[in-house]
Structure 1
Amino acid sequence: MRESTFSFWQDTNFNALPGQPLTAASNAYQGQSGEEESWFFEAAAEDGTYLNLFLAVYAGEGRARLTLARTGQEVLTREKAAPFTAASSHLDVRVGDVHIRQEGDCFQVQWQEGIELDLKYQPLLPGWQPGDGRINYGEKGNKYLIWSVPVPRAEVSGTLKVAGDKKNFKGNGYHDHRRCNFPLAQALTGAYLGRFYTGDYTFLWANFRGNRLYSGQEITAMYLAKDRQQILSSGNLVVQVYEQEKRDGINYPVEIDLEGGSQPPLRVIIKNPTVIATGSISRLGARNLYCRHQGELKIATQPELALAGQGFTETLAVTNDRVYHGK
């Protein structure tokens, strides 16, 4: 017997919801029983340095993973597990000496062991989520996944210290918030989350792929902004993966064609990926692979707008259908 997706980016009566505004409290720790909650921060500097911090909390324990890639050097990863503390009024979560928090309109990210990181994210765009950000699975929608983007694009500045060498960091960044209350393999085979930047344009996209129980249904979302203003939010996106390769047991896309059913129509072609790193701290059966890629944004205006750019794609590979309790 197959279940069907209960609803996505919609209310429970299948009425499409416009993007709902995000608040500071909605990006804070929600503290729901049985739920894994995580926050992802990404930054790319002008000199080619890339880093991301993934912090997840589940069943009283916090886990954090830092990935740092620098041109011509070995990729560094650091992990930490410890009890966590968190506020419920705004983002303020600590796992040991790892600290992420919101201060006014800005966000601070700190890692103080081995690698010393102190970054400030100054948002360039308001937060966004597709509809209410929630995908419901099961006959009653009692399994859910929530994805929201408090920071679609930010100016990032601060300091980075590795092996005693301290440098200033300046670049662009992104931040999202994720919540899930079931082992992902119970509903999904995998997902892609992507960011693409070209000049004043910011394009975000997502593709969640259902398993056989959900007839392989794909749930998509896209977002487009120019300068400091959102101009598009839609679930009408066709994702075509033309070629895949494998790294550390994870299949990732080599070339992707994204076609948005918008007016005017838009298309984003993603290609020439460079794998940055793989890893996971999730308790709900997912591994992550991060790629830097080149691409092109085309908007069917008169004349057609075609802009080259670059971005990052995260592949989520679902691994099992049980909650992982090991260290």
Structure 2
Amino acid sequence: MAAHDIPDTPEIRATLQRSQEEGLAALGLKSDTVEPWEDGYRAAAAADSTFEWWYFDCQFDDGSTLVVTFSNKPHTDPSGPLTPTLLVIRQLPDGTRRHLEPTFPAGEFAAATDSCDVRIGPSRVTGDLRTYDLHIEADDIVADVHIDRAAPSWRPGAGITYFGQAKDRYLAWVVPVPYGTATATVTEHGTTRQLTGSAYHDHNWGNHLMGSFLDHWYWGRAHVGDYTLVYVRMTTKGLFGFGEVNIPTFFLAKGDRLITDDLVPLRLTTSGDVPGPGHQSYPTRMEWTWRSDRGSIAMTVTNPTLIESLDMKVPRHGVGALLHAGEHPMYYDFNADVDLDIRLDDLTDHVTGRTLYEKMMFR
């Protein structure tokens, strides 16, 4: 049975608006403003039942990349003990790739609640939405990165999606840096390089095993010409008795000006599926469309290159192994071509470039 898109009707919009207003009030948020404390340790009061991570992604002008994630524990075990983990993925211009994921004792984790200030072992990140500084140590890699935000910090509404009528299971998200510039000093194998490029930073937390309520998601970002995009479609395993539901999220800015973050009109059509690792598949063409009384936005993503695949299968035993025998969760990460066509009442443009996106499969 195909998943349902959220209908774009006045009734649905009114319901979503009420839900967002309730979420904003409950979480103490301002509707159109992200504040520095929102990038602090949001799970601090419920760390025994909540996972949380701060994600940073740098694309350097020499063709190399650096991905860093600070996590309080694996998202596959939100009720587990504090397991501070530093993920570092470093790719060189020739395609050589290193994936480091050291864990640390709970006592080597610290995070502030009033701003982004997270420490795991000798590594640390601090930031105030406008600028961020990272110091990273993993194996023989030592990196110092400075990020200056160039697109407005953003959260989609209240930034929280509840799964289930009781609203006791959730996944939350804020994007402090949809796009920024980066300068870095990176030492590896005894060689030090000075690098410049672009950066992205977001922050997630939740309190339930994501695979229990999500089937899969597509999440991507791009900076093309003067435009910054973040695009998402989460597909649930069954929500409120309506079966599978597609939950979109969309952000489009030009420079430091938000053009739209109206998520309801966003639709995705995929085609050209090919087999991937772990007995999963992925499309070779994605057509994202957005239409409203303001006009239309079309984004076509093609020619994907699979740059990372991670087996996310959780070891199970006994009855659990039988119940989940057919599942093989996988994470795919891609680089692809993107064609962006904007036809709004106050803006018309067409640009092409590259996009990074992922497909996360929980089944």
The TM-score by the shorter chain falls in which range?
Answer: 0.7 to 0.9
TM-score, length-normalised on structure 2?
Answer: 0.79
Match of 1:239 among 256, 264, 268: 268
The Cα shift of 1:280 comes to: 7.3
Find the residue that maps to 1:140 and give its secondary structure: coil
The Cα shift of 1:278 comes to: 2.8
The answer to whether structure 1 residue 66 and structure 2 residue 88 are counterparts is yes
| Aligned position for 2:360 | 316
- Taking the TM superposition and a 5 Å limit, the aligned residue runs for 1:245-256 are 245-249=274-278, 250-256=280-286
Provide the rounded CA distance (Å) in 2 between the counterparts of 1:101 and 1:252. 36
Q: 1:10 to 1:137 in 2, by over 3 A?
A: farther
Provide the rounded CA distance (Å) in 2 between the counterparts of 1:11 and 1:286. 34
Provide the rounded CA distance (Å) in 1 between the counterparts of 2:313 and 2:21. 30
Identity of aligned residues (%): 21
- What letter matches 1:296 in structure 2? D
Q: 1:16 to 1:197 in 2, by over 3 A?
A: same
Q: Is the 8 A contact 1:63 1:281 kept in 2?
A: no
| Aligned position for 1:85 | 110
| Aligned position for 1:75 | 97
CA shift digits 1:98-135 (9 cap, x unpaired): 21221573111221132111111100122101111111
The Cα shift of 1:281 comes to: 8.5
RMSD over equivalenced CA pairs, Å: 2.9
- What letter matches 1:162 in structure 2? E
Match of 2:309 among 260, 264, 278: 278
| Aligned position for 1:322 | none
| Aligned position for 2:172 | 146
Find the residue that maps to 2:339 and give its secondary structure: strand
Match of 1:45 among 34, 56, 60: 60
Q: Which moved more, 1:303-312 or 1:72-81?
A: 303-312
Name the larger-Rg structure: 2
Match of 1:261 among 276, 291, 295: 291
Q: Which moved more, 1:124-133 or 1:310-319?
A: 310-319
- What letter matches 2:184 in structure 1? G
CA shift digits 1:38-73 (9 cap, x unpaired): 111111111211221122113322112111122223
The answer to which structure, 1 or 2, has the higher relative contact order (CA under 8 A, 6+ apart) is 1
- The unaligned stretches of length 5 or more in structure 1 are 320-327
- The unaligned stretches of length 5 or more in structure 2 are 7-12, 25-29, 74-80, 315-327
- What letter matches 1:185 in structure 2? G
Match of 2:35 among 9, 23, 43: 23
- What letter matches 2:52 in structure 1? E
Q: 1:180 to 1:138 in 2, by over 3 A?
A: same
Q: 1:14 to 1:36 in 2, by over 3 A?
A: same
TM-score, length-normalised on structure 1?
Answer: 0.87
Provide the rounded CA distance (Å) in 2 between the counterparts of 1:12 and 1:104. 26
Provide the rounded CA distance (Å) in 1 between the counterparts of 2:40 and 2:96. 34
- What letter matches 1:111 in structure 2? I
| Aligned position for 1:325 | none
Q: Is the 8 A contact 2:40 2:113 kept in 1?
A: yes
The Cα shift of 1:9 comes to: 6.4
The Cα shift of 1:212 comes to: 3.9
The answer to whether structure 1 residue 172 and structure 2 residue 198 are counterparts is yes
The Cα shift of 1:13 comes to: 8.1
Q: Which has the higher strand share?
A: 1
Q: Is the 8 A contact 2:149 2:177 kept in 1?
A: yes
The Cα shift of 1:228 comes to: 1.5
The answer to whether structure 1 residue 306 and structure 2 residue 337 are counterparts is no
Q: 1:253 to 1:117 in 2, by over 3 A?
A: farther
Find the residue that maps to 1:300 and give its secondary structure: strand
CA shift digits 1:178-210 (9 cap, x unpaired): 011111121101112110221111111111110
Find the residue that maps to 2:284 and give its secondary structure: strand
The Cα shift of 1:289 comes to: 2.4
Q: Is the 8 A contact 1:19 1:128 kept in 2?
A: no
Q: Is the 8 A contact 1:193 1:205 kept in 2?
A: yes
Find the residue that maps to 2:38 and give its secondary structure: helix
| Aligned position for 2:121 | 96
Q: Which has the higher helix share?
A: 2
| Aligned position for 2:325 | none
Provide the rounded CA distance (Å) in 1 between the counterparts of 2:22 and 2:161. 13
The answer to whether structure 1 residue 289 and structure 2 residue 301 are counterparts is no
Provide the rounded CA distance (Å) in 2 between the counterparts of 1:200 and 1:304. 13
Provide the rounded CA distance (Å) in 1 between the counterparts of 2:22 and 2:270. 29
- What letter matches 2:84 in structure 1? G
The Cα shift of 1:141 comes to: 1.0
Q: 1:104 to 1:196 in 2, by over 3 A?
A: closer
